[in-house]
Amino acid sequence: MTDTDTGLVPAPRRLVRLPGPGPVLDERSTIDAGPGTGGAGRLLRATLGAATGLPLPDAPGGNGLVLRVDPGVEREFGPEGYRLRADGGGVRIDGGGPAGVLHGAQTLRQLLGPGAFRRAPVAPGRSWRLPAVAIEDGPRFRWRGLLLDVARHFTPKEGVLRWLDLLAAHKLNVLHLHLTDDQGWRVEIRLHPRLTETGAWRARTKLGHRASPLWDPRPHGGFYTRDDIREIVAYAAERHITVVPEIDMPGHSQAAIAAYPELGNTDVVDTTSLTVWDTWGVSRNVLAPTDNTLAFYEDVLAEVLDLFPSPWIHIGGDECPKDQWRASPTAQARMKAEGLADEDALQSWFVRHFDRWLAERGRRLVGWDEILEGLRPGGSLAEGAVVSSWRGYEGGVAAARAGHDVVMCPEQHVYLDHRQAPGDDEPVPIGSVRTLEDVYRFEPVPPELTGDAAAHVLGAQANLWTEVTEDQQRREYQAFPRLAAFAETVWSSLPAPGARDFAHFEQRMRAHYARLDALGVDYRPPGGPRPWQRRPGVLGRPIEGSSPIV
């Protein structure tokens, strides 16, 4: 048997067909969950129990599924690695750690067929036979993530929990939540309640690209309460997913300024007249570089740290227009007092303040690759700072060579809001065409990085921005099936991009589409969008011709 026969996605390192028939799950089957494997046992009982109708009781030494943590697996494949053996004696999953056992459990679900991904049995009373296989597997990268932009269009809590299930099913382990932007503030901050009372709501919303003449006149918004966040974080942790919060600053901050006008450049614009932005692009209204602003965001981050145990805290740091700072006597006085050469250095000063503040509290700042700009000669970010390289590979290469960890997420490769095919059928087409094959050939480590510098690439993430994806259905269309291809690029040990066997991946996807169907994912079919997935008449921003892969 090959992994084509099983259709496993992402592809495992090794899969061997064993002699004889595979095991059967039936009414007598049990789960024997050893120390450290309780989470995987609960997930299997909840998911497989619902899908099969089998009770799967916890019975040490019983007949069925055996789950164990094995230090030997950790030594060979790391804490997220696993070995799975299914033969006449039953199923055994040995993980390098609890996360590895869980990843093995996800592989087990795939081996059982698409019915194992449903929430209730479609054929009650049947037994479930597994193929006789031995699998050894482990991830290539530590950071395998998806950015979900909940600021432009809000994803309610139940939608976030669904995304966590979809990430876990594809062995992805980071959910980067883009919580704040010009168009909305999405997390409750007790000390500053107007951030959600005012900042979480906009009066109307642009339909399509910002050049579109169309508007949705309905107010839009929403936010997560503190208990919502705790629930999301706990749900993610059960699936060994880290939720990385992003509080964008000093740009992309008009929603915060609309709620608290004193945060803006009051000596340049009438910030009391600002509202939460209702269109797309980059707002010129940015935070003022004042002590009051720094203290305010320290308050915000103190509550964020209380809610999110993630070692990484993202502060954005991208796309900060400098016009207001150039015109602001207050900003210019700050530059003079700090000995800063220009406004780029002022932004770097702002970022480095929170870099130090987070480091003092045992957390690591993450920022978009603009955080490398404006550093003084010989200056640097804190040792633990991480760069999200989005404008191509260049920022990530520079950061890695300077000794900083990097998450590769170049727009030209893995921005899932970009269109999936040419032509008029793609809904609200944005950017250059990025096909399923394009994403499958994405390589997180560019060839110019070698040795110690290459080791600084923590991994990669696909970014799902939501300006033109207004609901869960649209977001799933943009993400799938490309997120499945991305998952393989960050989990599996693949050859160089040009040597990858895309035809083989397409064969495995035939089985995987059936799993996505069972999960109810509104993915883009290989032949193009279904009628209800199109958005005729809504203006996008397609870029014609081949986009540079940089």
Enumerate the active-site residues. 181, 252, 319
DSSP state at residue 58: B
Orientation of helix 226-238 relative to helix 157-169, angle to 10° = 10
The sign one gets for the Cα dihedral 345, 350, 355, 356 is positive
> 239 is written with which tokens?
């699936």
- Judged on CB neighbours under 10 Å (0-12, 13-18, 19+), 227 is exposed
Helix ranges restricted to H, 287-342: 291-307, 323-327, 329-338
Question: Per the omega criterion (within 30 degrees of 0), is the bond before 481 cis?
Answer: yes
> 485 is written with which tokens?
């291809």
Q: Are 17 and 43 a contacting pair, CB within 8 Å? A: no
Q: Are 494 and 10 a contacting pair, CB within 8 Å? A: no
Alpha carbon distance 160, 155 (integer Å) = 6
Q: Residues 6 or more apart from 171 whose CB is under 8 A from it?
A: 10, 103, 106, 139, 144, 487, 491
Alpha carbon distance 513, 465 (integer Å) = 24
- Judged on CB neighbours under 10 Å (0-12, 13-18, 19+), 5 is middle
DSSP state at residue 273: G
Residue ranges of E strands in 162-310: 174-178, 180-181, 184-185, 201-202, 205-206, 215-216, 220-221, 242-249
Residues paired with residue 279 on neighbouring β-strands, in sequence order? none
Q: Residues 6 or more apart from 175 whose CB is under 8 A from it?
A: 145, 146, 148, 160, 163, 164, 167, 236, 241, 242, 243, 244
Orientation of helix 291-307 relative to helix 343-360, angle to 10° = 40
Alpha carbon distance 231, 157 (integer Å) = 9
- Integer-rounded Cα radius of gyration of the chain: 24
Q: What count of Cα atoms within 13 Å lies in the side-chain half-sphere of residue 172? A: 25
What number of helices (H) and strands (E) belong to the chain?
19, 24
| Phi and psi at residue 386, to the nearest 5° | -120, 140
In the chain the first and final C-alpha atoms are separated, in Å, by 38
Beta pairing, strands 128-129 & 24-25:
antiparallel
Alpha carbon distance 47, 102 (integer Å) = 12
